[in-house]
């Protein structure tokens, strides 16, 4: 594992590629200021420098992430539990990343992806693997573990800003006697996004940790009914898409749709039904991440109070009841709603009246 990674460590560090150049006062004479006889030599010298910089650029950009196993921490992906075990510790990275269990540190998929992406971790897929994992392979790992790209984009953005970021409802430490990893999965949508081989079958099966067969059967019926309603709404949208047109710049999702969650004509009928039946079903929505302020001395055993929560939702804006449900789960803390488009993350804050 270490020999192959050691061979690639001779590449020029990427940071030397972006160092500042010479000041104008110390710069060599320009090409126009020298005599005609000295221009060929100066031109050859300049060409040699350009070729050297080009070679250094190619080596820096083509070097593998985490190729130097001597200076980087190493981790091995354990597919049976859906986490990576850190087998070689370097630096202070794991004071803010990973779950501590029996003296070992275990990384979730999004933590592996961020650390590999920022060249702070050499990840291997097994003990016998000679090559470190590439950025592309850890992105594939995210998809395989059911982590959406928008969630990881928001996670990466927050970590780059210096915040300590953890899945909502997950724990920093877990008892070594605990056979499964329920406390590190997280609550809400994370509970439904565990891989099939993670050893958490009861939570991965229904999303709320509910083992009641009657409730599970009812949940399946509701999901089937919801899927049918979505199909009917899509068919209605297709039929009316020719008549519903707008020439304005529609910044809100689905604004040209007849079944728009805010503006569609069916919203009045839905309100009438809710008023007539008197049934106000609870909104099932959870924050995505819990955020702590940057702290060099952050401790997993005694973590700081949560500063705010982040909800990642790029499909449509929140309605009033959903926003209130998020604030209820935040218990007085502000919630930042993140919307991701390609590589851009935009966040805005919602909070209760007592926060402002």
Give the pLDDT of residue 319: 80
Give the pLDDT of residue 218: 60
Give the integer Cα–Cα distance in Å for 13 and 9. 9
> For residue 12, is it within any domain?
no
Shared-domain flag, residues 121 and 230: no
Give the pLDDT of residue 251: 43
Q: What is the DSSP letter of 207?
A: S
Question: Which of 184, 206, 228 is where one domain is finished?
Answer: 206
Q: What is the DSSP letter of 102?
A: T
Q: Is 57 left (phi over 0), alpha (psi -120 to 50) or beta?
A: alpha
Structure tokens at 94: 């794991």
Only one residue has tokens 């060249």, namely 119
Shared-domain flag, residues 296 and 183: no
Question: Which of 206, 238, 261 is where one domain is finished?
Answer: 206
> For residue 135, is it within any domain?
yes
Shared-domain flag, residues 181 and 90: yes
> For residue 127, is it within any domain?
yes
Please report the DSSP string for 134-189 in residue order. Answer: PHHHHHHHHHHTT--HHHHHHHHHHHHTT-EEEETT--SB--TT-SS-HHHH-SGG
Radius of gyration of the chain (CA): 27
> For residue 51, is it within any domain?
no
Give the integer Cα–Cα distance in Å for 163 and 83. 22
> For residue 29, is it within any domain?
no
Q: Is 269 left (phi over 0), alpha (psi -120 to 50) or beta?
A: alpha
Shared-domain flag, residues 271 and 307: no
Domain total for the chain?
Answer: 3
Query: CA separation (Å) from 74 to 15, 68, 165?
Result: 22, 10, 21
Shared-domain flag, residues 176 and 107: yes
Only one residue has tokens 């935009």, namely 346
Give the pLDDT of residue 80: 87
Domain that holds residue 304: 289-350
> For residue 63, is it within any domain?
no
Which residues of the chain have a pLDDT value below 50?
Answer: 2, 4-18, 195-211, 239-256, 356
Residues 225-245: pLDDT tens digits? 555 555 555 555 554 444 444
> For residue 92, is it within any domain?
yes
Give the pLDDT of residue 298: 92
Shared-domain flag, residues 165 and 97: yes
Q: What angle do CA 195, 197, 201 make, to 5 degrees?
A: 80
Q: Give the global pTM.
A: 0.61
Contact 288, 160 (CB under 8 A): no
Give the integer Cα–Cα distance in Å for 87 and 75. 5
Shared-domain flag, residues 162 and 86: yes
> For residue 235, is it within any domain?
yes
Q: What is the DSSP letter of 76?
A: E
Residue 118, φ and ψ in degrees, nearest 5: -100, 15
Give the integer Cα–Cα distance in Å for 106 and 241. 49
3-state secondary structure of 40: helix
Shared-domain flag, residues 297 and 325: yes
Shared-domain flag, residues 99 and 168: yes
Give the pLDDT of residue 311: 95
Contact 166, 298 (CB under 8 A): no
- The CATH number given to whatever domain includes residue 124 is 3.40.1170.20
Query: What integer best gives the mean pLDDT of the chain?
Result: 74
Give the pLDDT of residue 128: 86
Shared-domain flag, residues 202 and 140: yes
Q: Is 212 left (phi over 0), alpha (psi -120 to 50) or beta?
A: beta
């Amino acid at each position: 594992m270490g020999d192959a990674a050691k061979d690639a460590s001779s590449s020029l560090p990427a940071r030397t590629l972006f160092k500042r150049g010479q000041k104008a006062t110390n710069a060599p004479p320009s090409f126009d200021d020298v005599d005609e006889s000295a221009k060929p030599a100066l031109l050859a010298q300049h060409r040699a420098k350009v070729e050297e910089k080009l070679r250094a650029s190619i080596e820096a950009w083509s070097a593998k992430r985490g190729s130097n196993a001597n200076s980087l921490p190493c981790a091995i992906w354990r597919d049976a539990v859906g986490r990576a075990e850190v087998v070689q510790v370097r630096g202070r990275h794991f004071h803010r990343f990973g779950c501590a269990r029996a003296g070992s540190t275990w990384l979730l998929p999004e933590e592996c992806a961020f650390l590999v992406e920022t060249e702070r971790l050499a990840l291997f897929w097994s003990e016998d693997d000679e090559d470190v994992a590439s950025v592309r392979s850890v992105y594939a790992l995210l998809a395989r573990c059911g982590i959406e790209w928008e969630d990881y984009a928001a996670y990466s953005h927050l970590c780059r800003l210096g915040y300590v970021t953890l899945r909502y409802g997950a724990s920093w430490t877990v008892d070594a006697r605990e056979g499964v990893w329920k406390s590190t999965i997280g609550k809400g949508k994370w509970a439904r996004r565990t891989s099939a081989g993670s050893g958490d079958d009861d939570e991965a099966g229904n999303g709320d940790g509910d083992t009641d067969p009657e409730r599970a059967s009812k949940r399946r019926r509701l999901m089937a009914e919801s899927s049918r309603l979505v199909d009917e709404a899509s068919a209605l949208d297709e039929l009316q898409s020719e008549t519903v047109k707008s020439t304005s710049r529609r910044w809100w999702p689905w604004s040209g749709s007849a079944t728009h969650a805010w503006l569609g004509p069916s919203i009045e009928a839905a309100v009438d039904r809710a008023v007539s039946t008197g049934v106000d079903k609870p909104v099932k929505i959870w924050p995505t991440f819990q955020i702590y302020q940057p702290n060099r001395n952050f401790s997993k055993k005694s973590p700081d109070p949560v500063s705010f929560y982040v909800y990642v939702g790029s499909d449509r804006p929140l309605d009033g009841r959903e926003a209130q449900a998020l604030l209820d789960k935040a218990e007085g803390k502000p919630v930042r709603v993140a919307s991701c488009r390609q590589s851009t993350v935009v966040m805005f804050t919602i909070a209760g009246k007592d926060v402002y």
